Amino acid sequence: MFKIMRWNSDHVGLAGLLIAAIGVWGGWIFHQSVALTQNAFYLAEWSTYLLDVRYGGLRPAPEILRLGIALSALAGAIGLAAIPNWRIRWSIRLIFIPIGLNLLPPYPDVFSLWWSPSYGGRFIVACIFWLGLAACLWLDRRSAGARRWGMIACAAGAMISVVWAYSQLIQPFQAHYAATLIPGWGLAAFLAGNALAIGVHLKARFCASPHRIKKGPVA
């Protein structure tokens, strides 16, 4: 009975993070203009053309937005440790590669590493993602409880980063287009998916009976 319940909680958490991953590619601003219906990556990139971002105090905001995307993807990658077969587990993790590639600076600036004046912060965010994905080799062999805390931390960090960056960036967007802009379905899916994963794993961590919690690494 416990095994079925544990797998159900893991599956619900993964479903939430999958919803969040889908939300990354959806429209993060709701508006009739197609130019404003952008996914998270385009939103971060397009925001760099706004004067408050390019020359003002909001220069870190696009990278913090990308950091939120990276942390959410890492939460999903960690959660896949619930799949016992390592071949299936890593095959599914391949779906996160497009996110990692979109986090990288464009060619040839990617070779400037973190020294690039324009793309250094973006390169650091991409490194966090790729190093975190590689760290799953180690996390796969940690206890289920440790992995749960890792997923909770990444998902919570993703939500905090995205909410802060979005709340800062939406203001210059509204000023630029002289219109009141509201969040699109992509942002709603991203936040709802991460919140669902956090809630499920917190409940599994604190509501499960201690002697029923499975410990030890997966294969």
Give domain status of residue 151, yes or no. Answer: yes
In a domain? residue 218: no
* Number of domains forming the structure of the chain: 1
Check whether the bond before 183 is cis (ω within 30° of 0). Answer: no
Which of 5-14, 59-68, 91-100, 151-160 has the lowest average pLDDT? Answer: 5-14
Across the chain, what does the average pLDDT equal?
A: 85
Report the DSSP beta bridge partners of residue 29: 183
Residue 74, in any domain of the structure: yes
- List pLDDT tens digits, range 175-194: 887 878 888 999 999 999 99
The residue range of the domain holding 15 is 2-212
- The confidence band for 207, taking pLDDT boundaries of 50, 70 and 90, is confident
Per DSSP, the residues of the chain read -HHHHHHHHHHHHHHHHHHHHHHHTS-SEE-SSGGG---HHHHHHHHTTSHHHHTSTTTTHHHHHHHHHHHHHHHHHHHGGGSS-HHHHHHHHGGGHHHHHHHSPPTTGGGGGGG-TTTHHHHHHHHHHHHHHHHHHHHTTS-HHHHHHHHHHHHHHHHHHHHHHHHHHHHHHHHHHTS--EE-HHHHHHHHHHHHHHHHHHHHHHHS-GGG---S---
User: Is the residue at 217 inside a domain?
Assistant: no
173 in a domain, yes or no? yes
23 pLDDT exceeds 90?
yes
The more confident residue out of 48 and 117 is 48
Closest CA to 201 of 15, 39, 35, 12: 12
Q: What are phi and psi of 199, to 5 degrees?
A: -60, -45
Residue 66: closest CA among 142, 120, 6: 120
- Which among 70-74, 121-125, 143-147 has the top mean pLDDT? 70-74
Average pLDDT for residues 77-92, to the nearest whole number? Answer: 89
In a domain, 139, yes or no: yes
Residue 119 lies inside a defined structural domain of this protein: yes
pLDDT of residue 93 exceeding 50, the answer is: yes
What six digits make up the tokens of 176?
């630029």
Q: Is residue 207 part of a domain?
A: yes
